[in-house]
Every structure is written in C-alpha cells, then in structure tokens.
Amino acid sequence: MLEQEIFDKVWDHFVVQKNLCGFSTLKYTGPVCRYRDQNGLCCAIGLFIPEDQYQPSFEGRTVDTLLGLPALRELRVSPNFLLMLQRANDRSLDVTRDTDGTTTPYWSPQRMKTNLIQLAHAWGLKVPRRGR
C-alpha cells in the first residue's frame, strides 16, 4: 500500500464513518490508545492488524515494537509514516478536568481530523474531500 492509500483508509474510518478509537486509562499515564479493545474499537495502526495477528500483549507497546508484524511489513511504507500516523491518533486522546479535580478521558474526533490534516500536509498527501 502507498502512504496515500493508508491515509485514505484511516481518514474514511475515523473522519467519514465517525468511528471512535479504542483507549484505556492507566493510573499513572492517563488515556492510552488501544490497538483493539473489548468492543472491537481500534486505533489507526490497529486497523491494519488482522485478527489472526493481533495479541492482547500488544497493548501498552509502542508501534515501533510492532513493525515486524507481517501485516505491517506488507504495507511497504516508511516506518516513520506509521509512527507519525500513530502519533496523530495518540494526540487525539485528552481528558476533561471537573471542578472537583477528577478527570474524564475522551477521544476527540475533531482533534483526530486536525491531526490527520497536519499529517497529510507534512507527507505531501491529499486530504479526501469526504468528511472535510
């Protein structure tokens, strides 16, 4: 796959179809992306990891430790592109702080869209018209 094809698939999944990203909240680090969660939600990189290659032990690992997976190798794109794609995804996680000091994690679709547009510009990709 080309970077543009990968970008288009991620754009369609999160921006056009408005799918949410799976995430967990860890006590010391806050919200973190899940490659796949118990509800079937996944992150940008998780979209490209088929069920037969996914392992729960992937959770909590950075994407650079998964680049040896056959499915990710078969994409035949720059590892840096995959790292930046995941960074765009991870930067879409945030927390709201209530007046009593408690925090509530959430995944921001608007932030994901903005992050993907920035990624497209950085890599010279076209942003699809659908979902703009």
Supply 61's token pair: 């690992």
User: Is pLDDT of 27 > 60?
Assistant: no
Residue 28 CA, chain-centre distance (Å), reads 21
Q: What is the mean pLDDT of the chain?
A: 86
Entry pTM: 0.85
Domain boundaries, the chain: 3-123
* Cα–Cα–Cα angle for 61, 65, 44, rounded to 5 degrees: 70
Work out the pLDDT band at 9, boundaries 50, 70, 90: very high
Residue 94 pLDDT: 74
Mean pLDDT, residues 101-128: 88
